[in-house]
Amino acid sequence: MQFYDGWFDVGYGLVIVGLIISLWASWNVKSTFRRYQNDRNSRGLTAAQVARQILDDNGLYQIRIEQIAGNLTDHYDPSGNVIRLSESVYNSTSVAAIGVAAHECGHAVQHEVNYVPMQVRSAIIPITQIGSRFWYIIFVLGMVFSNSYIGAPLQMIGILLFTLIVVFQLVTLPVEFNASRRAMQTLESRYILSGDELTKARKVLTAAALTYVAALLNGILQLLRLLSISKRNNRR
């Protein structure tokens, strides 16, 4: 019994560690963005102007740029052919905002050149959405019926569905890192930013990338917790 209690305690420990990692990553990206949001680029360009320039330079004239509410809610929507920049980014001339806008353009370029990791991520989105919607319900049902023959299979199905989420987070990493690399290369080669401006933009994008690393680590820790709970429950 003491062995299982140890596993139980480890499960809670994994949750706490994952929570700390996620909170730190979220704080870090917001803190880094705030640190450089008042550092204007020497050319006086807004993030929206930079995004338009990068898109046009890559022949992506069909992609629109829109402003949306929120802070750091920026994203590229391939289904709508649109890059949406948040209020704190769209009209800003800061090196932080320029970096964010260039990153989203990196995703648009990935889509245009059929970047394989992005294609894989797009392909597994539907099944990942199913997993995120039902894994918890199925796993809990498996716990409720743990004394019957369907308990263990239901728990395993729930764990497999959650594993899909972790796989999605894993595939997301190269997509995000590649978009940032494309952004930095473009900002430097087009002379949009230079010197210290590039360094600051890189720090912002690195902080943003770490949120995806944190999400993956948190997902792995949660997966280990589910496995430990299931193992302890099925050995009673």
For the record, the structure tokens of 50 come out as: 């930079």
Tell me how many degrees the CA angle 184-187-191 measures, rounded to the nearest 5: 145
- Phi, psi dihedral angles at 147 (to 5 degrees): -90, 0
Task: Answer yes or no: 197 catalytic.
Answer: no
From the list 104, 112, 176, 188, the catalytic residue is: 104
d(CA 140, CA 125): 24
For 195, phi then psi, to 5°, come to 55, -125
CA-based nearest residue to 225, from 18, 10, 23, 4: 10
Length of the chain (residues): 236
3-state helix, strand, coil in the chain (%, to 5): 75, 5, 20
Q: Among 4, 2, 104, 10, which Cα is nearest to 48's?
A: 104
Active site residues: 104
